[in-house]
Amino acid sequence: AQRVTQPEKLLSVFKGAPVELKCNYSYSGSPELFWYVQYSRQRLQLLLRHISRESIKGFTADLNKGETSFHLKKPFAQEEDSAMYYCALSQGAQKLVFGQGTRLTINP
Partner 1 sequence: GAVVSQHPSWVICKSGTSVKIECRSLDFQATTMFWYRQFPKQSLMLMATSNEGSKATYEQGVEKDKFLINHASLTLSTLTVTSAHPEDSSFYICSAPTSYDYNEQFFGPGTRLTVL
Binding residues (CB under 8 A) for partner 1: these are 32, 34, 43-46, 49, 51, 86, 90, 93-101
Give the residue with the Cβ less far from partner 1, 19 or 90: 90
**Least distance in angstroms from the C-beta of 54 to partner 1:** 13
**Least distance in angstroms from the C-beta of 18 to partner 1:** 25
Give the residue with the Cβ less far from partner 1, 13 or 44: 44
Neighbours of 9 (CB within 10 A): 9
| Closest listed residue to residue 32, CA positions, set 100, 93, 74 | 93
Burial of 24 (0-12, 13-18, 19+ CB in 10 A): middle
Give the residue with the Cβ less far from partner 1, 49 or 71: 49
**Least distance in angstroms from the C-beta of 43 to partner 1:** 5
Q: In the Cβ-directed half-sphere of 52, how many Cα atoms lie within 13 Å?
A: 13
